[in-house]
Amino acid sequence: MKRVMFSLSMPGISSWNGKWSGENKRYFITKTISDKLANRLGISEQKPMSWGYNWSDGWSAQVTATILKKGERTGKSDGFYGYGWMVNSILVNGEINP
């Protein structure tokens, strides 16, 4: 079993001022997944994996999965900005599907 931290970022910002209101916060979810699932998703201790999602309005999100070392602490998360469905989609489908 592997503890995996899924982090959210917004590399494509289409707001009036070019900023994302959550840019200075830490959005992540930690999940425990099987070694088999980690391998299927392409996540390893040496190589984090990322998935992207684009909206038609110019915004885009990126979810990055990193395997945590035994005993590693993540600190406090500010949630996942309502996009937990992206992590669920990655775990089930191997990609982000709405």
Per-residue tokens: 93 = 């489908």
| 12 phi, psi to nearest 5 deg | -110, 110
Instruction: Give the residue ranges of DSSP H helices in the chain.
Output: 35-41, 84-93
Report field, pTM of the whole predicted structure over 0.85: yes
Structure confidence by residue, pLDDT tens digits, 2-59: 999 999 999 988 888 988 888 899 999 999 999 999 999 999 999 999 999 999 999 9
pLDDT of residue 23: 87
pLDDT of residue 19: 86
| CB of 78 closer than 8 Å to CB of 21 | no
Q: What is residue 85's three-state secondary structure?
A: helix
Residue 57 CA from chain centroid, whole number: 21
Pair type for strands 2-12 and 60-67: antiparallel
pLDDT of residue 22: 85
Q: What is residue 69's three-state secondary structure?
A: coil
Token match 């910002």: residue?
Answer: 13
Decide if pLDDT at 61 tops 90.
yes
pLDDT of residue 76: 96
pLDDT of residue 80: 93
Q: Spell out the domain ranges in the chain.
A: 2-93
Q: What is the dihedral of CA 36, 3, 50, 44, to 10 degrees?
A: -60
